[in-house]
Each structure stands twice: as structure tokens, then as C-alpha cells.
Amino acid sequence: MPLPDAKAKLQTISGVGPKVADCALLYGLHRTECFPMDVWMKRAVSLLPRLSPANFSENAGIAQQYLFHYVRMHPELFK
């Protein structure tokens, strides 16, 4: 299923928004082009002003996992 259709279909479930849909697609269905965005990822992206999830194309979800781990291990970056 095309990614926009899959996201839309998941979001028809009560309580599922864009982030949860991206998480389900990335972690459950290995759709590595998904980039779940939460407060930690917004912080991570703020550290890389010239980059966006689109820069990582089909590997955005893999990059997201590394970025998420890094910012969670280094909260001092955001003080």
C-alpha cells in the first residue's frame, strides 16, 4: 500500500494520530521511510538545521532511531 494511504488508514483507528501511525509503520511493518516525530525528535532536528527527515529518504526511520537514541542519552544538549 502506498505510504500516504497506509498512514491515512491507520489514523482511522481511534487514538491513532500521525506519530503513532508512523511508529506502527516503521517498527511494526518495517517501512523505513517513516520518521515518527515527537518532542525528542523535534529537539534532535533542531540540532541539525540544514537537515530534515526528507534528506534521509527511504532510510529516514533508521536515521530517526539513531537520532532518538543520541538525544535521549544527551539531554544536557537542551538545557
| Grid coordinates of 70 | 543520541
DSSP classification of residue 26: I
Pick the catalytic residue from 9, 19, 42, 79.
Answer: 19
Query: Does the annotation count 42 as an active-site position?
Result: no
CB atoms within 10 A of CB 10: 19
Q: Say how far apart CA 38 and CA 36 lie, in whole Å.
A: 7
Active site residues: 19
